[in-house]
Structures are given as structure tokens and as C-alpha cells.
Structure 1
């Protein structure tokens, strides 16, 4: 079967896409002939693990020793000791951020140090002092890093409420506190509250910051992700259109970010099965990205594929064929003729040619696939029998 449309690979917010529409079944071959009973269903691409970042402990040991010496000389609640303890906690937080999943040892040590500071700050500075609130924020962030969002929320709520009582509610640090609380709520499954907090943050950012500010764009992108992940597509579509207008206004209609957001809008329309709107957006994004990347770029290959899938779902396989051919050409240019992702694209093209009733071209493409599999795996390649059987069925359709 055809692979479903792919997620956008270079959106500004690197957002993940929701469940994608499947492709409608449609008989292939000319009228009165029997097409192969099942399309090719091969997945030949490769997957790679993301490398892990490692840090060295030398600085941590030195800081720990210096902190212990300062505590002995100045006392545990001295201002300089509080500052040094906070610095050491932040370094532990850097370790915690790259720890393997489930390893909370560094985060726990960070939190323990920050809790000591919080006790002294509450006693000497008061519960609503900015220093106290910043420590609450840091503790909440550490719990969130450790995968404990429900333990993070009380600290982040306290940090936000204290700022809202004592400062301008549109102050940038207040907005950051609200954004972090939204992140914790989302991680804890409190989706509606998380979105409400993000909506407030994005709206306040537009009031506080100059038009086109990067922070405003980032927060709108985060809100867009939240709408989409929550299945609130109408709101996601409206916000995506607003972001496109912003991007066109500040960067122009032919900027990379503009085309990337147009591609995001295409995905949303596709998910809603508004195929005409999806196709129009895909075509605009592709036309612009071809000028930026060139038609043989991998950045274009999956977009050609998505446009083709939209045409197939709309019952127009003939219109899908050139886009699938372009996707195959781009992957062949990038990865080589025998790479797994290139062969996946060739399988898609074969199936589209079959559905469009073009058996001669389908046979030629399948023969290319057969030759590639022989080069890759030799005569014992496990998928050769399926491809040979499919090729034989296609040949029966030839005049």
C-alpha cells in the first residue's frame, strides 16, 4: 500500500503531526482488466538512533568542594553561599538535562540544594521576593526535567502567582513563568489548562514585545503545536493562517519560514480531508521550496509525496504520478539509486502507475526495482519473490 503522507521535517517549531489520513483503495489498470490483487507493500528505509551528549565531572567536583569550604567559613545562609549553592545546583541541572531517561540522581541533588536556598530566602527575603520566586521556578523546572510534572506544578504555580501579585502581569519573566507552568500542565495531562496558559502567554507577548519578535513567533508556534496535538484543528488552522500572515509581513511571501508554515497548513487541511485546500497549499510550498532548495532536495521529496497522496485520495492518480516521480528522483539524487528510501519512493511510483492504468510504465519501473533488489541483496533478497509475482501480474495487463 502507499505510505501515508509524511510529517513536515523542518518546521520552525519542529512540531510533530497528528494521525494522518490513509489512502483510498482504487482499482488500477484499464477497464475490463484485472490489476494485481495487492499493491506492493515494502518498507526499505533505514532508521538511526540519536547520539547522546556526555559531560565531564571535573568542574562539578571543584564546585562542590568550594561550596563546602564556603559553608564552613561563612555559614550556610550567607549571601555568597546562597549564590554559590545556586550556581552548583544549576550545573547539576545541566547534567540532569542530558541524563538517560529515568535517571534522576542529578536532578534530585539539584532540587535538594535549591530547597536549602529556598528555606533561607523565605526567612530572610520573604515569600514574594523575586529571589525566592526564582528559586521556586528553578525547583519546578528541575522536577519537570526529572519527569515529575505534578511535583513541578506547585512550585511553578507559586512562582507565577507571586510574580502576578508583585509585578506587571506582562513582564517577560512573568510570561516565562506562565509558559513553564503550561509545559508542566501539558506533561501532566492537563491539556486545557496548558493551552489556556499558552494563549495568555502568546497574547501578552504581542502586547509586550515589538512586532516580529522571535519570542512572539516561538510562543505562537508552541501554541500551534498544542492545538494540533489536542486535536483542536479549527484553532490550529486559524493560528497557522495568522502565523503565515505574520511571516509574510516581516519576511516576505517567498521566505523559507513562510513556505514551511504554508506546508504546515497543507497538513492540517489534509487531515481535515479538505483536499482542494491541501493541494493548493502543498503546491505553493513546493513551488517556493524548489526555488530555495532545488527540485532534487530531500526537503522536497516527502512534500512531493504528500501532494501525490492528496491527489490519490481525491481520485486523481494521473496527477499523482509526476509528483511521485519527482519524489523518487529527489531521493535518488540525494541517497543513490539503491538506498532504501529511494526504493520506497520507487514502490510508491509503481503503485500509482498501476492505479492510473499505465501498465507499460509500471512494468518498466518494477523491472528497475527488481534490478535494484538484486544489486542490494543478491538472488536471496527476501522481497524478490513478492516483486517478481507483482511484475508477472502487471505484464498480463500489457496489450
Structure 2
């Protein structure tokens, strides 16, 4: 209206001028409807300005014109015009607002902070993954300005056609000059209007501005973006590079919702649902706090009358089910009508764009989707491209928030290995995209080829490298493309490895030989880190593939048999372990020769397998054979030789020759220390095995010192879940009990029992070994009924597991149960069990074996309780005489037998002999166990009270042969570490 006032003032016609009246009416016809008030206000403002600068006369004249103009306007009939709309504010937002918005308070505060200075042009970019809620947050901010003096305009900027369409809608709403001219450039018109004073204050939202080339490349859309001190542009983009180029430092990164925000969103979407907080949190965590995924899930739940647990059961069934649910379309009044709602298809927009603009980045993303989503090493992604192209591709993936760099990389071979995370839901969506385009198998095959070239060993020294590969290899081999490999007898893929690079022809098909090689590496690594079940499954699958493709006597096939034997033995699958050892020995002897290191390895494994089966002499035969030949052909300090020494020491200890076992274990321990240093796992294992040999010999303090050091170091190195760490902890609990530290022993034993139950399963024999030792501790502290219940439970399991009598573990449990029955006064049943066990021990382990002598001693005690003094004396004296020679007079078990003989002498009325023997027992007990040991104190109290002392006596029954400091500080530290590890 300022132009109109200028014309009126300049012409100032007379009142009776007919030409003026015609012009007056023409001007009046420009106004209609509700705009009259606006124009009147504008003219009033002009009048004030004229009055100040033009004087009273001009003001009066203009006032006359204004009155006439107002009257003329009132007389004009209503009519629609298409020439110009000069409304002061406009709200052009094509997306419907909803009051269901929750959370994001901090993000909105950041926007407000960046928008504070409204006296200059501002540009803000919100960056984030598709579906994370960028549009929703900006929409919430935009609606704050509805019905205010600030215009709000919205442009969907995913393509130039969408931009032009949005500009046309803005032109229709504002109706500035030439808006309806089909030849006019609406984008330019919008820019001109926003830069002019007529537009007033404004906010322009550029939504989904993801295409860098459209804005800053050939499209040059950025040059059409207005700059005005009375306006601001707010952008949403998936590409961080677009945001930073547009807004420089004023970028806001929008991540996933917090747990509380996810819960709040789900509550608002599900309405009056009675879902618990736990269920809401579970769903939020499962869907990674992605708002679009949560809205989609809540819609599916409501439409299908499901509960959250119902939905999660469907969702977690398989990756295919996850993809199907994430691909479900749904109504969302807030999202742009031309956008694709489902999560999976939303991200396909990003995939399509990256594929066109950066093929290397798309290829890397495809490979990543075949691996685990977390901590992906860059060495698995850089497959042949130069460093610059590789880095640019990484930047592309990071810019779209599909991939994020981690801060916990590692170094190996003198270089830093970076690790990257792929968003978990993005991985699922990418796999769906590849599957839809029939490219999933080809990229799985390529990932396998890359992995086979990078992941070549499972040595402890290179664990920093292979530990980062391990989860990705496991995920890769769990793919559906590997399910039927071990049933195939033909490999359709040929290899070309002459150039040092593995090439497959044809490409795109999973190579079974590579799969088998990777499985063997996985089996080795999983055994190294103490996961025998996983190791066995992988080794068995590798064996089937190689046997079918290469033949059962191929050296690669035979090598896998060793990988089966070790975990099978640890899992007590003795028949399978023996079978594969025998197959390996025969095949390797025929193929490689009897003295080949691989053949000797199979001999060693067969020997160590026979030991827990109770076939001790066969175990010693094969173990010694392997040791002697390894010393001859490999040398006394070769790692294979030292491993054989450990096997022979174990068998020697099982045969009851504890001094000889200690000698071998000490030699082995010293050699490993010299070869590998103080912190290597094999040295720590050797220390634990030496400690156990000392414990068997009754050197409890020395055993405690060694074992506590080993266990603490193992906990720091492996954590409490490792197979051997649990073995060492269990044996240290026994040693603590032998030292009379029953409370500490019970605490540690219970911890080990929890760990074995959790990580080895409720049916693993070692779990029952821990229960059995816990029962022994109950006996030591007078809880006999609790002990009996556990022992009977263990016995039922072992008889079913091992198949009846005769097994070493079964005999051990029967002996301990019989001792408990003795405590409870049930001497008849105890006598029967002990007699049966002794008979079997005499045949299986021999008359002078420490275990057999222990059985004789405890049976002699029972006979004494039954009044069979002659039989009791014969058994006790025979046990004592042999124990002195086999174990030594100062061994705790020898001392226990002397104590029983003293009790027998008192029962026989031979008081002086009993007194002398009891004094000898007390003195020996002080030397062997210490003055404060509970048994020493009980024996001191027994002096002079021979009629009652037997009720205090705790018998050394067959409790310590299966497994298995001061060091009070070390013990306390161990208990603390164990507690932390298991928390």
C-alpha cells in the first residue's frame, strides 16, 4: 500500500475529478473480504508518516482521500481475484500436526538457543538417521509459530520436483506477483519474496534435504535459498555433509530416543494399554529407540490386538520375521504423504542414494550387513581400494549415520585398527534390501572370501587381531547360506591362489573350502578362550565338509580330528574323543608317518582322553609315547613337548605318584616361564596344575600361594567365564577347605557353581563336581542332612551320565555319601557302600594307590563304629603302613589314619597307646596344617577325651581327586575379583 499512497499523494486530484473517481474505483476493486482491515491499517500508518513529513495540508488532503477510499471499498461487492495477496503472515506446512509429540526437550532447547538472535539471518541443520524423528521435531517447532506474526513455509527437498511443487503451493498461498504465470520460476519468486521487506519475519523449513549434488553440485539449489535478516532456514538431512555445508557449525545431531523417551512415546501411542514398564522398556530397547520403528510397532500391536510380549515373540523369531514386521506399512498422519512409512523401506532411500553416488560405500555397507553389527574391523572393509577412496566411502556411510566409528580400536603389526558399528536395524534393512535384489548370497560369499584371507590363525599371540574377527566370522557362518554345506559332496567354486590373493570362479557363490577353513580357525579360537561347546560344533562341521569334499584321509581332514578330540574330552564325550583320536592316528600314520608332529599330537590327545575315563595305564602309555618322540624330534623345550609333559604329569598324579607329578609339573612350569614369559595363559595354567599337584601331596600353603596367583591373573586375562579359569577357581576352593578356611571356600565354591551352571549348563559333570564339594563343606560345618541331599542328587546324575558303577566320579560320590552317613550314625549303609567302593578301587587303581588307601582308612573307621575291631585294625594299620611309604608320614591323610587308630586303641582299652598316638597326631597336625586349623584344634581338644573325639573327626574321603591362599590377602582379592566378574 506504500506505492498506492505515493500515487495518491503525487496526484492529489480535485474532488469533482471524474477521472479520479474512475481510478478510485479501480483501486478499490483490488480489495476484498478480510483484507480491507489490513489495508486500512496500512493506510493509517502511511497517514502518520505523511503527517510528520508533508505537513498539515497534505495530511488533510490525504485524510479526505482515505475516507473516500474506505467508503468505496465498503461498496465493492465480494469477488475472487488472483492478482495479489498481501496478508502479513502465512503458514504453509503440508504435514498435519499431532499433539502426541513426546520427549526431545533438550533438542528443542538447542534449536531455541540457536534461533535466539532474530536480527540476522540464521541457518540450522538437524542431522540424523532416517526414521529418527528429525521431521517430527522440526514440525513441533514450526507449529509454535502458527497464528503469530512469523510466516512459516515448508519445502520437501528430496528432489527438484518436490521443491518446485512446494514452491508452487507457497505461491498459491501468498499470491505474490506473477504467481499464476505458468512461465514464472516459482523457486525464484519465493526467494525474491522472502528477501523483500513485504514477507516480514519468516521461517523456511527444508525437510529431507539429503542430496548433496542437488544442493551444492550440479543442481545448485543452494543459490536459490534466500538470505534475509528477518528470516531463518531450518534443514533436516540424513547426510551430515549436507548439513555442515549448509549450516556450518550450527548443526544438531539427532540420535535415538532415551529409554524414558521411548517408554513415553509408546505409552502415548498405545493409549490405555495395561502394558508394564518392563514390557515398554523391552520393546524400546529391542527397536533401538528409533521413533519410526516404535510408532510402526505400536500401530501393529493395536491393529492386531497384541500385547508387547506377543509382538516381541514374533519379532525375535528370526531375522526374516524382523524384516517382515519392519516392512509393515501403517497410517501416520504426521509423515509426509509421499514418504514410505515402513522402517525398512525408509532406509532403502539412503541405500539407493549411496549406491548411485558412491558404489564403494554401498559395497562396504553390503559386506558389513553380512557380519555382526558391532565393532567391525576396517581390515574387513578395505578390500582392494586405495586409501583415499576407502576413506571417502567411510565418510559417506558415517555422514548418513548408518555407520559410526568407535574409540576402542586396537593395534597389531604396527598399525592401528579402527572399528566401526553398523546400526542394528540398518543391518536388518540392508540384508532385506540385498535379498530383494538377489545380492545377499553374493555379498555373503565375498565376505567369506575376505575373512578367509584375513583370519588365518588362532594363536594366543595374535589374539588382539583375531578376537576382533571372531564374532563376525561366527555371524557369517551362521548365515542361511551355510546351512547345507556339510551335506554337499561337490564344491562348485574353484580357487586361484597363485598370486597370493584368493580368487573364486565363479564369483558370488559360497565357497565350501573357505567355509571349512574358517570353521577350523573359529574352533581353535573358541577353545583357546574356554568355550569347548562352540569349538566342538565348529570342528565337527568343518570335518564333515572336508571329509565330503577332500576325502577322509586328506591331511586337512585329518587335522580337524584333533580339533574335535580336545573339546569332546573336556565335555566328557569320551567315546567321540577316543574315536576321532584313533581315526587320526591311523590316517596320519599312513599318510604322514608315525613320528610326524601331527601324528604325535593325536597320540597325546588319546592319552589325555583316557585319563578321566579311568584308563590310567593306557593314558600313561600313549602320553609317554608322544612325550618321548617329541623330545627326540622337536627338542625338550618345544611347545608341543611341554604340552606332552603336562599330559604325562596329569596321568602321573592320577596314578597317585604325587612327588613325580610335582617334579614334572615344576620342570614344565619353569620351561613355559622361560619360553613365554610370566603372563602367558599356558604359564598360568602350568602354575595352577603345579599348585594342584602340591595340594594332592598335602602342601596346602604352597598350593594356595600358587593357585591364588594363577587364578587372579587368569581372571584379569580371561574373566571368570573361561573354562580353565573355572577349573582353577574350583580347585582353589578345595585348597581353601583343606586349609580349614571353610567360609571362604564355601563362598568361592558357590560362585563357581553359579558360573558353571550359567556357562556350562545344568547337565555338565563339572557342575555336579562343584555341588559335591559344596556338600563336603557342609559336612565340615555340621550340615549333614543338606550334604546328604546334594550327594544323592549328584549320584543319580552321575550314574545316569556314566552308566552305572565303576566310574571314578561315581566312586568318588559314593565314598563321600558314605562318610556323610557315618556322621549321621547310619553305619550299616555306610559300611556297605564303602566296602563296594574299596573292592572296585582295589581292581581299578591298585592296592597302594592313595585313593585306595583312603578308602581302606575310612572303611576301618566304619568297622570300628560297628564294633568290628579286628577288621578295623587290619584295614587301618594296612592303610597307615602304605600311606607312610606312598605319601609320607607328614601327609594329612596319613595323619588322619593315625588319628583313627588312636580312636580304635581307646575303644580297645589301650589308653596309653591311644594317648601317645594322639600326641603324635597333634604334633604332626600342627606341622602339616597349622595350629589354628579346625582339625588341629579339634585334635588338641580330643586329648584326654578319647571316648568322644570321634564325633569331631572329619574323614578325608575320596573328595579331591577329580579337581583340582596364605595369602589371606590374595584370597580376599580373589573373592572380590570373582564377585565383580560375575556381577
Q: TM-score, normalised by structure 2?
A: 0.19
Which protein is bigger by CA-based radius of gyration?
2
User: Which structure has greater helix proportion?
Assistant: 1
Highest RCO, 1 vs 2 (Cα 8 Å, sep ≥ 6): 1
Q: TM-score, normalised by structure 1?
A: 0.43
